[in-house]
Amino acid sequence: MSARLSSASALMGAVSLAASGAAFGACTGPGAPTDTQTKCHAAIQIPGNPLRSFDISFVNPHRAEFYFADRSNAAIQVIDTRTLTHKRALGGFVGVKLNAAGNVNNNISGPDGVVSHGRWLYAGDGDSTLKVFDLESSSSSPAQLPLPTGGTTRVDEMDITSDGELLLVANNAEDPPYGTLFAANGDRGFSAVSKIAKITIDPAIAPAGAGLSIEQPAWDPKTRRFYVSVPVIANNPQACNFNADLGTVTCHGGLLVVDPIAVINAHAANVVIGAYDPATHSGVVKLNACGPNGATVGPRANLLLGCTPQNNPADTSTLVINAKSPVNSLNVGGITGSDEVWYNSGDRRYYLGASRACGAGFVRSGGGCPTGGAALGVVDADTNLLIEKIPQGSNSHSVAADSKRNRIFVPQTAPLSVVVGGDGTTVGEQICGSTNGCVAVYVHHVDGDRDDDDDRDEHGDR
């Protein structure tokens, strides 16, 4: 794709997008400012039920596909990142489950986490199972029987090694929470995913009975470790309160560093990991002023962690920490409240699904927050400085980017007038050009945007 389109080709593109299900009248309002580097480009409509609840997103740039966990339609939705068309839905998930008050119970709804390598897609469900799909098959059903992880709540966020051989998933809603390491399919033409081990954190660090969690994992090919966000841990600082039932949480979070080879070599069904040990480069690192949900690996083995005051009210910035030496970190000001975060090697920027980003510094004139306070945050991965924040509909917390085309995908919920618990603002509706919710597509034009195949992907170009 050329970095600069003529007005004629831009018009043809608009016609093509409209024919494919992208919305006319989309990309208006606060979520489509004219003075940002990251521009609202299109809104892709999703067939079926209006979007009430969704979770994590992922892009496989070599397949030119974006995937997101759509609980409202009990499916992983597949979107073509070249043509910006909806391709198909991969079904068989439990969908939206409600609590006694009639609100979505995230802990048992699904799908949740999703990741892809080659022809294989892996997704977590609300019944504590992992599902595997063959993207080369015309079938929308899993390629093998769902794999249980031993719990009663969802398999949530996940990441996979660069060769696709090992997969780490977070069972975040169990008490205490745990991870599960799987042997994945790599580049094989058949599916034979199997469970290797359960991974738990030392109870002195993550005590049971306090509703603690683990969140987004990220794989770093340079250190050959998984890095997993842990929103709150005990004794960080000493004698802090980690239990929200006992009052305001004053403990910060941690970063769980997992050496998968050490887990395999332990030959144990359950591997317990304690405090960080620099000699083995594994264990739980105490973080400075950060209760993280999101995690992504950027250049020079840096990790950006999506800290949020939802975990600790004092944690109001974003953290960058070095994977090789995780005692070294710096705080990025001006953006907070992130769930999923994503490094895009195509433009060397981090994109943050900041659903709780309320505060000054919005890109539009006057600053401030719309009701709901969600934003798409953009951070320079070389300087670690905030570039811009673009308002989003409330509940906007999921983001992924295509590194070949520099297109950023941000799902939006339907308005509150259409679905219970939906977008309480008009921001998402104006972005979508509809009242059904959508996937907003943002673009950052840089020289060298392209559709050709190369060796750069979301795991290898770090």
Q: Domains of the chain (ranges plus CATH)?
A: 7-443 (2.130.10.10)
CA atoms lying within 13 Å on the CB side of residue 268: 12
Q: Per-residue confidence at 372, pLDDT binned at 50, 70, 90?
A: low
259 vs 460: which has the higher pLDDT: 259
**Mean pLDDT confidence for 84-112:** 97
Give the whole-angstrom CA distance, residue 52 versus residue 49: 8
pLDDT band at 21 (very low <50, low <70, confident <90, very high): low
In the chain, what's the furthest Cα-to-Cα distance?
Answer: 64
In 3D space, the residue among 407, 430, 456, 451 whose CA is nearest the CA of residue 79 turns out to be: 407
pLDDT of residue 366: 36
> Residue 64 is which amino acid?
A
Asked if residues 315 and 252 have their Cβ atoms less than 8 Å apart, the reply is: yes
Question: pTM of the entire structure?
Answer: 0.91
Which tens digit of pLDDT belongs to each residue from 324-341? Answer: 998 788 999 999 999 999
pLDDT value at position 447?
Answer: 74
Number of other residues whose CB lies within 10 A of the CB of residue 41: 20
Q: What is the mean pLDDT of residues 411-440?
A: 96
Give the whole-number percent of the chain exceeding pLDDT 70: 89
Contacts of residue 68, defined as CB under 8 A and 6 or more positions apart, other chains included, come to 54, 55, 56, 57, 58, 76, 77, 79, 114, 398, 400, 409, 411, 439
Of the listed ranges 86-100, 175-189, 228-242, 349-363, the least confidently predicted one is 349-363
Q: Is the pLDDT of residue 456 over 60?
A: no
Distance between CA atoms of residues 404 and 344, nearest Å: 9
Q: What is the pLDDT of residues 199-254, one digit of tens each?
A: 999 999 999 999 999 999 999 999 999 999 999 999 999 999 999 999 999 999 99
Structure tokens at 390: 């673009």
272-311 pLDDT, tens digit each = 999 999 999 999 999 999 999 999 999 999 999 999 988 9
Comparing 450 with 456, the larger pLDDT belongs to: 450
CA pair distance 443, 405, nearest whole angstrom: 8
Residue 4 pLDDT class (50, 70, 90 cuts) = very low
pLDDT at 458: 46
Identify which of 414, 379, 429 has the alpha carbon closest to the alpha carbon of residue 399: 379
Q: Across all residues in the chain, what is the average pLDDT?
A: 90
Per-residue model confidence as pLDDT tens digits over 210-219: 999 999 999 9
